[in-house]
Amino acid sequence: MNRYPLWKYITVAVALLIGFIYALPNFFGEAPAVQVSSNRATLKVDAGILPRIEDILQQAQVAADGIFVEPNGIKIRLKDGDAQLKAKDALEKALNPDPANADYVIALNLLTASPKWLTHIGALPMYLGLDLRGGVHFLLQVDMPGAQAKRLDSISADLRTLLRDKNVRHAGIDREGDRIVINFRDAGTRDKARAAIAADMADLSLVEQDDAGSLRLVATLKPEALVKLREYAIKQNINTLYNRINELGVAEPVIAQQGADRIVVQLPGVQDTAKAKDILGRTATLEIRMVDDTPGALERALAGQVPFGTELYTERGGAPLLVKKQVVLTGERLTDAQAGFDSQTNEPAVHLTLDSSGARIFRDVTRENVGKRMAILLIEKGRGEVVTAPVIRSEISGGRVQISGRMTTQEANDTALLLRAGSLAAPMNIIEERTIGPSLGAENIKKGFDSTLWGFVAIAVFMIIYYQVFGVISVVALASNLLFLVALLSMLQATLTLPGIAAIALALGMAIDANVLINERVREELRNGLPPQTAITTGYERAFGTILDSNITTLIAGLALLIFGSGPVRGFAVVHCLGILTSIFSAVVVSRALVNLIYGRQKKLTKVAIGQVWKPDADTAK
């Protein structure tokens, strides 16, 4: 009667086996490794470079424990930390002879030390969170109003060009907050302008507005264009961060969008937080504007009267420079920047490549302003810096621009890097930061592991003493719950954090509830005088409803944490919820399978070892 059909036993056995295999990699730990990846889009790191790497390692007398070719680079597993550092230095020297212009990123990393066949079937260890392995975590807020203002600025520039091309005379285009106002002298021109703009710029919605004698056309971004703009700003910023972090040489950076306007950056193993922040914090955007060369204007500005529509900047050399506010081009139009040399003068130079629309604007501007100066500005945190302000010698078409003059090779390299790493579509601020030292991470793992271990041992001892064979069964079910939970987390490649470990411990402490419920119910049925086999069946049946009820309320709390929790709480919630699900399976199905295996076959079962079943009437009868 208490027998499972064969398929149920097989299901349990298979589940346990799969759980075991996928939980296994976590016990092998990690080995130090060096990762070689490309620093250039044009350069691929693949099997082709393997012989070279092997050669370098042999010359440095470092024995590699295994070399793996992966899509994002080559990973070399090494025996210990010393070998890792030696290998990194050797590779760095051999692959990047010129450190200022590195072709490869050589980073320290950790690789799972589990056997190959495990890795082959996709059984990977859980990914350790920053609080367990050390590293830096940043939460960056993208300044969306800033992005919108920038976009509107560039649209106003486009509008000017458009109206000029179509020969529509306007009386000024200005951005006022989140809208663009175009003034006209007569209604006919306004209608013409309206038609031209509507045909050319689908992103704008136009409203006519007349006050006090002036005819105006007010343009705002359409809601869908606004959404697109936001999405673009986030995407562009993530790309830019990715490029910048690559320069840092971090093995496995996490760069992800969180919410509508936030970006999470996690750099495991990075200890030099100052440098990381420096590189991330460089929220530089590139702008090209014209220099105001009107005679006398600069002198007036220096005296404190900055002419309308211009700003005063200082050049790198220290000379003051008056720059128009109107932006000709922004960094968005830039596709590449490389350091090099001027082909004629052999001076260090930066070669820029613009996209097609940028190239067209640049051609027009340079044609109309030969002999004048243009300024290339880097805007950081609202403050601008003039990188260079070259004189336009001739019309520049084709989108290839060279910036040269008064630069050292190092400066050219830096500028190119900053420009290439991309400009951010919108400024960002760090709103949350967490740095965890590596020793703290190791300690956290030990603490989490210890508390789970000792808690488990204490519960096991108590259960076995109190419920005897049923106690052993409960403990086995609890252990299988742990196995399932770890396996599931590994399969999902979830990130394990200290709160996550706490949730595992808590899940075990709560999961035993189900087994206690079952055991108590079985005892009660025995007390009521039912024969053991029937008592087991009814005990399990009746307890199941209660187990379901109580787990669902816990699950509701877990889901609420999952929905509203962020950061460490989220890690806790994920494990908490999964733990509830695995505990139902292990407490009910696995423990029942064991009970059935042990007792189910005995036809004349008179006694089960579930501890003493005390009967009040037996006592009073004496």
> Which residues within the stretch 496-525 sit at the binding site for other proteins (CB under 8 A)?
498-499, 502, 505-506, 508-510, 512-513, 516-517, 520, 523-524
Provide the minimum distance between the beta carbon of 201 and other proteins in the complex, in angstroms, as a whole number.
Answer: 31
Taking CA atoms, 324 is separated from 120, 161, 362, 553, in Å, by 60, 16, 16, 64
Cβ–Cβ < 8 Å for 231, 87? no
Taking CA atoms, 524 is separated from 500, 527, 540, 542, 574, in Å, by 36, 5, 12, 11, 35
Q: Which is nearer to other proteins, 127 or 572 (CB)?
A: 572
Q: Which is nearer to other proteins, 336 or 520 (CB)?
A: 520
Interatomic CA distance for residues 506 and 8, integer angstroms? 29
Q: Which is nearer to other proteins, 195 or 557 (CB)?
A: 557
Provide the minimum distance between the beta carbon of 453 and other proteins in the complex, in angstroms, as a whole number.
Answer: 8
Provide the minimum distance between the beta carbon of 458 and other proteins in the complex, in angstroms, as a whole number.
Answer: 5
Token digits of residue 322: 């008056």
SS3 396: coil
**3-class DSSP string for 342-354:** CCCCCCEEEEEEE
Q: Which is nearer to other proteins, 123 or 267 (CB)?
A: 267
SS3 603: coil
Q: Which amino acid is at 433?
A: E
Provide the minimum distance between the beta carbon of 474 and other proteins in the complex, in angstroms, as a whole number.
Answer: 10
Q: Is 554 in the site for other proteins (CB under 8 A)?
A: yes
> Of 39, 119, 141, 243, which one interacts with other proteins (CB under 8 A)?
141
Q: Which is nearer to other proteins, 390 or 611 (CB)?
A: 611
Interatomic CA distance for residues 309 and 299, integer angstroms? 16
Per-residue binding string, other proteins, 117-136, x by CB under 8 A, is --------------x-----
Q: Is 385 in the site for other proteins (CB under 8 A)?
A: no
Find where tokens 């808590």 sit: 506
Residues that contact other proteins, how many (by CB under 8 A): 84
Q: Which is nearer to other proteins, 126 or 505 (CB)?
A: 505
Q: What is the C-alpha R_g of the chain?
A: 34
* DSSP states of 86-124: HHHHHHHHHH-SSGGG-SEEEEEEEEE-S-HHHHHTT--
Q: Which is nearer to other proteins, 41 or 274 (CB)?
A: 274
Cβ–Cβ < 8 Å for 197, 206? yes
Interatomic CA distance for residues 257 and 241, integer angstroms? 12
Kindly identify the residues of this chain, within the stretch 260-289, that bind other proteins according to CB under 8 A: 273-274, 277, 281
Kindly identify the residues of this chain, within the stretch 405-464, that bind other proteins according to CB under 8 A: 427, 429-437, 439-440, 443-444, 447-448, 450-452, 454-456, 458-459, 462-463
Kindly identify the residues of this chain, within the stretch 16-75, that bind other proteins according to CB under 8 A: none
Per-residue binding string, other proteins, 70-99, x by CB under 8 A, is ------------------------------
Kindly identify the residues of this chain, within the stretch 532-551, that bind other proteins according to CB under 8 A: 545-546, 549-551
Provide the minimum distance between the beta carbon of 435 and other proteins in the complex, in angstroms, as a whole number.
Answer: 4
Provide the minimum distance between the beta carbon of 429 and other proteins in the complex, in angstroms, as a whole number.
Answer: 5
> Of 66, 307, 340, 568, which one interacts with other proteins (CB under 8 A)?
568
> Of 566, 601, 602, 609, which one interacts with other proteins (CB under 8 A)?
566
Find the part of the chain contacting other proteins (CB under 8 A) among 60-68, 69-77, 309-317, 554-562: 554-562
Token digits of residue 558: 């877990």
Q: Which is nearer to other proteins, 328 or 575 (CB)?
A: 575
Residue (of 438, 428, 96) closest to 249 by Cα position: 96
Token digits of residue 64: 């590699």
Pairing of β 30-38 and β 73-78: antiparallel
Cβ–Cβ < 8 Å for 68, 116? no
Q: Which is nearer to other proteins, 63 or 461 (CB)?
A: 461
Kindly identify the residues of this chain, within the stretch 588-617, that bind other proteins according to CB under 8 A: 611-614, 616
DSSP H or E segment with residue 181: strand 179-184
CA angle, residues 26, 28, 32, in degrees to nearest 5: 105
DSSP state of 388: E
Residue (of 283, 248, 275, 273) closest to 102 by Cα position: 248
> Of 572, 590, 594, 599, which one interacts with other proteins (CB under 8 A)?
572
Provide the minimum distance between the beta carbon of 531 and other proteins in the complex, in angstroms, as a whole number.
Answer: 20
Provide the minimum distance between the beta carbon of 302 and other proteins in the complex, in angstroms, as a whole number.
Answer: 24
Provide the minimum distance between the beta carbon of 15 and other proteins in the complex, in angstroms, as a whole number.
Answer: 24
Find the part of the chain contacting other proteins (CB under 8 A) among 22-30, 66-74, 418-426, 569-577: 569-577
Q: Which is nearer to other proteins, 204 or 463 (CB)?
A: 463
Pairing of β 495-496 and β 127-128: parallel
The answer for residues whose C-beta is within 8 angstroms of residue 125's C-beta and 6 or more apart is 25, 26, 28, 30, 112, 114, 490
Provide the minimum distance between the beta carbon of 589 and other proteins in the complex, in angstroms, as a whole number.
Answer: 20
Q: Which is nearer to other proteins, 64 or 561 (CB)?
A: 561
DSSP state of 455: H
Find where tokens 């929905």 sit: 563
Q: Is 569 in the site for other proteins (CB under 8 A)?
A: yes
